[in-house]
Structure 1
Amino acid sequence: MPAPRSDADWLAAAARLAARGRPLSRPNPAVGCLIVREGRVVGRGWTREGGRPHAEAAALEQAGDRARGADVYVTLEPCAHLSQRGPACADLLADAAPARVVIGCEDPDPRTAGEGIARLRAAGIAVSLVPLPAVEDSLAGYLTRARFGRPHVTLKLAMSLDGCVALANGESRWITGEAARAHVHASRARADAILVGGETWRADKPRLDVRVPGLGERSPKRVLLSRGVAPDGVKVINSPGAIARLDDVQYLYVEGGAETGASFLAADLVDRLEIYRAPIVIGDGLRAVGGIGLEALALAHGRWTLVEEARLGSDRFAAYRRTRQGET
């Protein structure tokens, strides 16, 4: 007989459920909620398109009376502020009277911060806070904007074994195979916006859309890093730091080119680095990344932590999280 699942197990499951809400939940964070009674899920929910209903409201509606005395697992502290769009989730949970609410992350929003937990405890409900990397990752866009005032940035690089993105003459289609390219399109579908540099835009004329069956409507907004005039349907910013002005963007996907990627790395604005490596050697080609201003090799160490890897056909995928001071 399998061992009972721990609070961390249920929260990790809630974090995976929350992924269904990204990025359509904007401007709200994608939150996941599970209601468990005697080891069985009786209610589940995630933040729906446009931010409503919230995950807790959806899970409580599914659970009904079975929520009373149950355990609730929610990735983000239940909201406590009034809204014309619906009641506060802390109040909904208090009325439902579960035995426990286990929360993966406190809400940095000052309208809720700590108040959601306090309201639940005032209603006689036991509350536990169980910080979990999987939960933080599932809320990365929301938390990055709250902490740093900008979107969460993923930099994608597709390269040869020797770190090239193109031949010396600029030919770059295709470095990776179909499976890797499909993976990239799925990643685009999870972003609010996609950014390339002006040189890439002029040379490659990229569509920057999602070409996966069933996900075409998930194509992100297009952003161009350039000092030129904005093409139709494209927003132009003139520096990496200007991403802070992309108010409706929680997740930004940066695809290229080499100087654009280098500028984001040099400004320390990359939170996740995704590398697709094809089993080819180019030699005298164009490098994947330009200079990023490192003055000593020691400064390159300790910055990136491997968080995911996979084989995609003949290509290899690896994702790294930026490890900043105070993080592990």
Structure 2
Amino acid sequence: MAVNEAERRAMTRALELATFGPRGVNPQVGAVILSPDGDVLAEGWHHGAGTPHAEVDALTKLAPGAAAGATAVVTLEPCNHTGRTGPCAVALIEAGVARVVYALDDPGAVSGGGAERLRGAGVSVDSGEQADHAHRIIDGWLTAQRLGRPHVTVKWAQSLDGRAAASDGSSQWITGPEARADVHRRRAAADAIVVGTGTLLADDPSLTARDGDDLYPTQPVPAVIGSRPIPADAAIRRHPHAALAYDTHDLPAVLADLHGRGIQTVFVEGGPTLASAFVAAGLADRVLAYLAPVLLGGDRLALTDVGVASIDQARRLTVDEWVPLGADLLAIAHPAAGAPPRATNAAPAPDAAQESDISHEGAR
């Protein structure tokens, strides 16, 4: 059965509702219950660990029997297991829901399988509606479920000829205010922000997410990778969250520790050496490249060695979106299908102490 226009509109609304929920160990999920005629009966979203899931949150707003013959539109496949709450697939069946439309399959070995259970009970099921949008909302959770580590975004700003700084090391500012404001919005959406000690010592960044002169209500946890110590008077010491210091070059180990702390999304903003290390290790799930219409020349490249010896080894990307930001352009991309697999035992990151002590745009 094809998804109809009322169900598409309901999915758009469910995706908006999903963002009302908190980021954390559980995914952000939204749900809309439609009458057989396509009218909205109830809405819900997941309010956090231990609370009813989105489908149940919506169902509890209806009188008993009111969902009979209804359609549930959900951003994630209804779960099929009992945790702190019962299986949503069973709740929908018991409520008499006749049809379920969802965006993404649940990748969990335990929680997945809700669609099959619904179909077994005679419920019509369609999946994949606005899946790309749903994926963007919970990409951190999905990565954590599939790979057991946080979702990693690697960001850099560059001139049109691929330079991160001028010959003397200065880079502030390559891009304009619109691009820098966009970086801060994206920082605020991340659980952690990661830099190397080279950037920390060169820039003395605060690593906060700022809206003008004010801090965003949510702040990423700052993390620093490298052997050199954080100075006692560093600006990062005044961050709302205590900084995490990793005296190691083992990026998978760093990500494993962050994952163990409940961090699901990481924003890497630490200069060419660290950015290149994440790319080379196959640990960059998303790339944000801010391109400014300037030419700098020289050898201050935005990326250094990423393990590409010949063109057939190129780390090809799929661009999800081109975003104009004032005079600048943001490319949002992810590894293309058929790209080198993500490393499970990646080579250590280059010594952060070797990173040039130059000013890296954005890491402020």
- Normalised TM-score (structure 2): 0.78
Q: Is residue 103–residue 130 contact of structure 1 (8 Å, CA) maintained in 2? A: yes
Q: Is residue 25–residue 50 contact of structure 1 (8 Å, CA) maintained in 2? A: no
Q: Which residue of 2 aligns with 1:224?
A: 224
**Is residue 274 of structure 1 aligned with residue 285 of structure 2?**
no
Amino acid at match of 1:35: I
Q: Is residue 11–residue 135 contact of structure 1 (8 Å, CA) maintained in 2? A: no
Matched length: 320
Equivalences for residues 153-232 of structure 1 within 5 A: 153-212=152-211, 216-229=216-229
Choose which of 232, 251, 255 in structure 2 pairs with 1:240.
Answer: 251
Q: Which residue of 1 aligns with 2:360?
A: none
Q: Which residue of 1 aligns with 2:137?
A: 138
Q: Could you say what secondary structure the match of 1:318 adopts?
A: strand
**1:299, distance to aligned residue in structure 2 (A):** 2.0
- Going from structure 1 to structure 2, the CA distance change for 1:50 and 1:164 (only over 3 Å counts) comes to farther
Q: Which residue of 1 aligns with 2:72?
A: 72
| Worse-matched range after superposition: 266-275 or 94-103 | 94-103
Q: Is residue 192–residue 267 contact of structure 2 (8 Å, CA) maintained in 1? A: yes
- Going from structure 1 to structure 2, the CA distance change for 1:286 and 1:20 (only over 3 Å counts) comes to farther
Choose which of 29, 34, 37 in structure 2 pairs with 1:36.
Answer: 34
**1:285, distance to aligned residue in structure 2 (A):** 5.6
Choose which of 302, 325, 328 in structure 1 pairs with 2:338.
Answer: 325
**Is residue 106 of structure 1 aligned with residue 119 of structure 2?**
no
Q: Which residue of 2 aligns with 1:97?
A: 96
CA distance in 1, matches of 2:163, 2:96: 58
CA distance in 2, matches of 1:73, 1:134: 14
CA distance in 1, matches of 2:290, 2:339: 29
Unpaired stretches in structure 2, ≥5 consecutive residues: 232-236, 341-364
Q: Could you say what secondary structure the match of 2:283 adopts?
A: coil
Q: Is residue 79–residue 89 contact of structure 2 (8 Å, CA) maintained in 1? A: yes
**1:13, distance to aligned residue in structure 2 (A):** 5.0
Higher relative contact order (CA 8 A, sep 6+): 2
> Structure 1 vs Structure 2: percent identity of aligned residues?
38
Q: Could you say what secondary structure the match of 1:43 adopts?
A: strand
Q: Is residue 79–residue 111 contact of structure 2 (8 Å, CA) maintained in 1? A: yes
Q: Is residue 157–residue 255 contact of structure 1 (8 Å, CA) maintained in 2? A: yes
Amino acid at match of 2:118: L
**1:127, distance to aligned residue in structure 2 (A):** 2.3
- Going from structure 1 to structure 2, the CA distance change for 1:42 and 1:160 (only over 3 Å counts) comes to farther
Q: Could you say what secondary structure the match of 2:107 adopts?
A: coil
CA distance in 2, matches of 1:63, 1:287: 58
Amino acid at match of 2:97: P
Q: Could you report, residue by residue, the CA deviation over 1:143-189 in whole angstroms, capped at 9, with x for unpaired residues?
A: 21222221111111111112122222222222211111111111112
Choose which of 300, 311, 318 in structure 2 pairs with 1:305.
Answer: 318
Q: Is residue 25–residue 52 contact of structure 1 (8 Å, CA) maintained in 2? A: no
**1:56, distance to aligned residue in structure 2 (A):** 1.9
Amino acid at match of 1:279: P
| Worse-matched range after superposition: 311-320 or 141-150 | 141-150
Q: Which residue of 1 aligns with 2:306?
A: 292
- Going from structure 1 to structure 2, the CA distance change for 1:4 and 1:89 (only over 3 Å counts) comes to closer
Q: Which residue of 1 aligns with 2:14?
A: 14
Q: Could you say what secondary structure the match of 2:210 adopts?
A: coil
Q: Could you say what secondary structure the match of 2:5 adopts?
A: coil
- Going from structure 1 to structure 2, the CA distance change for 1:263 and 1:97 (only over 3 Å counts) comes to same
Q: Could you say what secondary structure the match of 2:31 adopts?
A: strand
Unpaired stretches in structure 1, ≥5 consecutive residues: none
- Going from structure 1 to structure 2, the CA distance change for 1:51 and 1:138 (only over 3 Å counts) comes to farther
- Aligned-residue RMSD, C-alpha: 2.8
Q: Could you report, residue by residue, the CA deviation over 1:56-90 in whole angstroms, capped at 9, with x for unpaired residues?
A: 23333445565332211212222233234x44322
Q: Which residue of 1 aligns with 2:362?
A: none
**1:45, distance to aligned residue in structure 2 (A):** 2.9
- Normalised TM-score (structure 1): 0.86
- Going from structure 1 to structure 2, the CA distance change for 1:312 and 1:66 (only over 3 Å counts) comes to farther
Q: Which of the two has greater helix per residue?
A: 1
Q: Is residue 17–residue 30 contact of structure 2 (8 Å, CA) maintained in 1? A: yes
CA distance in 2, matches of 1:71, 1:254: 41
